[in-house]
Structure 1
Amino acid sequence: MASDDTSDVARKYQRLGGGYDKVSALLDRTAVSRMRAQLVARATGDVLEVAVGTGANLRHYPPGVRLTGLDVAAKALRAASRRAGTLAVEWTPVSGDAARLPLADASVDTVVCTLAGCTFPSPDRAFAEIRRVLRPHGQALFLEHVRSASVAGRVVLRAVTPLTRAALGCHPDRDTVPAIAGAGFTIEVLDRAVGGLFLSIRATPTT
C-alpha cells in the first residue's frame, strides 16, 4: 500500500473545508469534548498547535498563552484565523508541515496536537520535530485515537483504514503511543474514553 504524503493530506483537508467542523462536532458529542477542553486548558507560555485545522481548540486555551497555529491546509488556517479574531487569543498562523516545523530548537513551552497524529505521513519524524522545538521543561499535549487493545477491535480498525485514509488521511490502526515515546518522551496518560480508543496524553522530554 502506497504511503500518503503531505501534499496529499493537504489536498484532502482543502477539499473537506468546513466539513471538518462537522466531523469534529460529532466527536464532541462524546467524552472527547471533555477530554479536548481539559487537555488544551493545560497549555502554558509559548504554545505551538500542530495541525490546528479550523481552530476547534482555540476557545479552550487559558488566558495569557501566546499561540502559533500550524497547518498544511491554507483553507483551514484561514478559518482558524477568523475564529481567533473573535477570541481573546494572541495568535500567529503558520503554514507548514509537522515533519519540518519552521521553528527553532527549544523555542516553545507547550505543543498541542489533537486528533492529528493519525494523519501524519511520517509520524516518527513529526513527533521528533515536536520534541526538537520543545524547551527542556516543556510539555506536549496529545489527544489521539489509538489502536484497539483487543484482537477483534484491531481487525475492525484494519478493515476501515482504507476508507478513513482515502477520506481523511486517517490511519486508525496506528500504534501512536509507542511512536510518541520513541521520539524521546515520557508518557503520562491523563484520560481515556470510548473503550480506550481515545487517549489524552501529556508527554515530557525524556532526560
Structure 2
Amino acid sequence: MSRLFAKWYDFFMNPLEKKKFKRIRKELISKASGNVLELGSGTGINFPLYEAAEKVTAIEPSQHMIARSLSKLKKSFVPIEMVQASAEELPFAANTFDTVVATLVFCTIPNPEKAILEMKRVCKSEGKILLFEHVKMENRFLSTLQDWLTPVWKKICDGCCLNRDTINLLKVHDITILKMQKYYSDLFIFVESVNKKKV
C-alpha cells in the first residue's frame, strides 16, 4: 500500500466515519471478546473501541498504515500488539483466537478466499467472526456498475475492489452467519458469525 494512500485515507473517510460508520464500528467491536485478531487494522481506527477484549493482535501488511496507526494505539484501553503480515499468510498457530475482526478489509485483500481459510484456521471452533465490509450489491444494474468501475477504482484506491462477494465466501466456507445488517441499500454489511470447524 502506498505512502500517499495511507496519508490521505483518514481524511477521505472522515465524513463517513464521523456519522454512521463510527456507530457501526462501536457496535461490532463491542462484541469482540477474549483473545482477538484484527485483520488489516489500517490506520488503527478500531483501536480505541476495544473494551471487552483481553488482548488484540492487529495485523497489517502496509508499513505506511502501521506508522499512521501509532497515535491511535496510545488511545486503546486494552493491550494491542501490531504485527506486519498479510491476511493470506497469518503467522499464528491454529485455534489461537476467540474472535476475529475485519472492517473494510476484504475489498483490498488480493486473495480473499485464502484469507478466509486462514481466518478459519486461526479462529477457535465456535469462535466469533465479526465483519463490516462493502460488498457486491444485489441490484443487477448496481452490481454491473460495480463490475464496470472496479478496474479503475482499484488503481485509484490502492487495490480496493467494489464487487467482492464476501457474503458468499463466508457461506461456502462453513462460517455461520448469526446476524447481518445492511446499510446504504446493501452496499455495506455488518456480519456477526460463528466459525464452524469440521471434526
- 1:56 Cα offset (Å): 0.6
**Identity percentage of aligned residues:** 27
Q: Deviations over 1:18-51 (max 9, x none)?
A: 3111233132245333211111111001111000
Matched residue, 1:118: 107
State the distance in 2 between where 1:183 and 1:15 align. Answer: 35
SS in 2 for 1:65: strand
Q: Mark the runs of 5 or more structure 2 residues left unpaired by the alignment.
A: none
1:22 matched to 2:11? The reply is yes
Matched residue, 1:195: 185
1:65 matched to 2:54? The reply is yes
Q: CA RMSD in A?
A: 1.6
Residues 75-90 of structure 1: pairs in structure 2 closer than 5 A: 75-90=64-79
Change beyond 3 A, Cα 1:64–1:172: closer
The 10-residue stretch of structure 1 (193-202 or 15-24) with the greater mean CA deviation from structure 2:
15-24
Q: Deviations over 1:97-153 (max 9, x none)?
A: 100001110001111100010111100000110000001121110101111111111
State the distance in 2 between where 1:58 and 1:183 align. Answer: 28
Matched residue, 1:99: 88
Matched residue, 1:170: 160
Q: Mark the runs of 5 or more structure 1 residues left unpaired by the alignment.
A: 1-9
TM score, norm. by length of structure 1: 0.88
Amino acid at match of 2:114: R
State the distance in 2 between where 1:21 and 1:67 align. Answer: 21
Q: Is the 8 A contact 1:31 1:194 kept in 2?
A: no
State the distance in 2 between where 1:18 and 1:40 align. Answer: 24
Instruction: Please list every run of at least 4 consecutive aligned residues from structure 1 whose deviation after the TM superposition is greater than 6 angstroms.
Output: none
